[in-house]
Structure 1
Amino acid sequence: MSVLSTIREDIQTVQRHDPAAQSGVIIFLSYPGLHAKWAHTFEHWLWRRGVRGLARVLSQITRFMTGVEIHPAAQIGRRFFIDHAMGVVIGETTVIGDDCVLYQGVTLGGTGNESGKRHPTLGDRVTVGTGAKVLGNIHIGDDVRIGGNSVVVKDVPPASTVVGVPGRVVRRNGERVVEAADAARLHHENLPDPVREESRSNRAAIEQNEDRIAELEAQMRELTTLVRELSAQNTRAADDSSDTQA
């Protein structure tokens, strides 16, 4: 794609994702997430052509100007959008698919001093909520949504919703993995609360145990009544036998 086509496509992406977006001119001038993405395109071009020192220096200038740190080696797909774009860090071996959205404070980083591929791979249409950390050489499938402040250190299957520390899947293919409240549609801030879901799951188990205990108590009362009746019958039979012998 040409530079103008890419800019036009990215502006349309902002208008699609941000309800507060204004005209294309305002978006072009005032969205640091777009500025960081556009600068990274040039820095990545330099990196691939071996001009790595200059690419690294320019990436730090971009970081200073936008609040977004993207390593020049990171691979980023089309229609990538960083909302608010402050405090976002994208590591060297990160791979990001098409139509992905990151919110402020997101880290796509490593877990230590390992070499080789040490940063995550995001599929297409992945949304990562505010302050979330996706760490290590893991794969995040297509259409995954990661809740704000989650910490994800394991692979996530496609079409899943992940929340918590450590991150865990609470929705897969449109179905809740654990019982929770109403569906959280488009807004990452409305993702299910894993603590609340765990509490509801525990309450459901307690109610099942209470029902089972009540059932066992009823059976015990029936057995007690039956034993008393049998005992009374044996007593009467013994008395009848004694009268007959007399």
Structure 2
Amino acid sequence: MTLALYARRARSRIVDDLDAAIARDPAASSRLDLALNSPGLHAIWVYRAAHRLWLRGGAAKLVARVLMTVARSVTGVEIHPGATIGRRFFIDHGMGVVIGETAEVGDDVMLYHGVTLGGRSLQKVKRHPTVGSRVTIGAGARILGPVHIGDDVQVGANSVVVKDVPAGAVATGIPAVVRFPEGREDPYEAMFKDPALWI
């Protein structure tokens, strides 16, 4: 890939991330505001560079880990460079987010602060969650182990998810209980009916 093509792709991805953040953050006033003041975006941008290094292997993996350690100290967001994260990913507020090495995250996903996509095994296997596209995970939620979170899922604040959650469901509680929005109810709007999601 030529340097010019790489630069165009990187710019396109940055603009996608900024526009996704603007769509999800009512406090955002502009792309510039977000680019300068969003630790979640800063963390994902460093992650994207570190992930490319991670994929090269060898000594590049160490450089990737160092980059993410620096990003964590600056942003409060810890993303392992081996994780796989899709497009238009947004972390609102950022502080305390942890995304493990074998985590896989789809497109258009939003995490609030304090979310953990963590492991439950010390073995070198797939040990972190797989999160589908268009998923929102509330503040302080913990999704642990190699569970699958389907597309269009909403996970409530402080919920602990240790089992698969099917597409279109809402998961709340400790351990999380899965329910489905009634009729044609929007899953995001369904969250407002359950105050436990915002605790």
TM-score by length of 1: 0.72
Q: Greater shift after overlay, 41-50 or 110-119?
A: 110-119
Write the distance in 1 (CA, Å) between the matches of 2:190 and 2:29: 20
The 1:167–1:9 alpha-carbon spacing in structure 2 relative to 1, beyond 3 Å, is same
Larger relative contact order (Cα-Cα within 8 Å, sequence gap ≥ 6): 2
Structure 1 equivalent of residue 24 of structure 2? 17
Confirm or deny: 8 A CA contact 1:76 1:96 kept in the other structure: yes
TM superposition outliers: structure 1 runs of 4+ over 3 Å: 182-188
Q: How far is the alpha carbon of 1:175 from its aligned partner?
A: 2.1
Ranges in structure 2 where 5+ consecutive residues have no aligned partner: 1-7
Structure 1 equivalent of residue 124 of structure 2? 115
Write the distance in 2 (CA, Å) between the matches of 1:118 and 1:164: 22
Q: How does 1:1-246 map to 2 (within 5 A)?
A: 2-50=9-57, 51-170=60-179, 172=180, 174-175=181-182, 185-186=188-189, 190=192, 192=194
Identity among equivalent pairs (%):
51
Q: How far is the alpha carbon of 1:168 from its aligned partner?
A: 1.1
Q: How far is the alpha carbon of 1:2 from its aligned partner?
A: 1.1
TM-score by length of 2: 0.88
Cα deviation 1:111-168 (Å, max 9, x = unaligned)? 1313310000000001000000000001000000000000000000000000000001
Cα deviation 1:71-101 (Å, max 9, x = unaligned)? 0000000000000000000000000000000
Q: How far is the alpha carbon of 1:7 from its aligned partner?
A: 1.2
Q: Secondary structure at the match of 1:2?
A: helix
Confirm or deny: 8 A CA contact 1:70 1:90 kept in the other structure: yes
> Which structure has more helix as a fraction of its residues?
1
Confirm or deny: 8 A CA contact 2:86 2:108 kept in the other structure: yes
Q: Secondary structure at the match of 1:57?
A: helix
Q: Secondary structure at the match of 2:171?
A: strand
The 1:64–1:158 alpha-carbon spacing in structure 2 relative to 1, beyond 3 Å, is same
Count of paired positions: 186
The 1:125–1:183 alpha-carbon spacing in structure 2 relative to 1, beyond 3 Å, is closer
Q: Secondary structure at the match of 1:6?
A: helix
Write the distance in 2 (CA, Å) between the matches of 1:185 and 1:81: 16
The 1:40–1:184 alpha-carbon spacing in structure 2 relative to 1, beyond 3 Å, is closer
Confirm or deny: 8 A CA contact 2:169 2:187 kept in the other structure: no
Q: How far is the alpha carbon of 1:26 from its aligned partner?
A: 1.0
Q: Secondary structure at the match of 1:175?
A: coil
Write the distance in 2 (CA, Å) between the matches of 1:187 and 1:84: 23
Q: How far is the alpha carbon of 1:27 from its aligned partner?
A: 1.0
Q: Secondary structure at the match of 2:98?
A: strand
Confirm or deny: 8 A CA contact 1:163 1:193 kept in the other structure: no
Note the aligned Cα RMSD (angstroms).
1.9
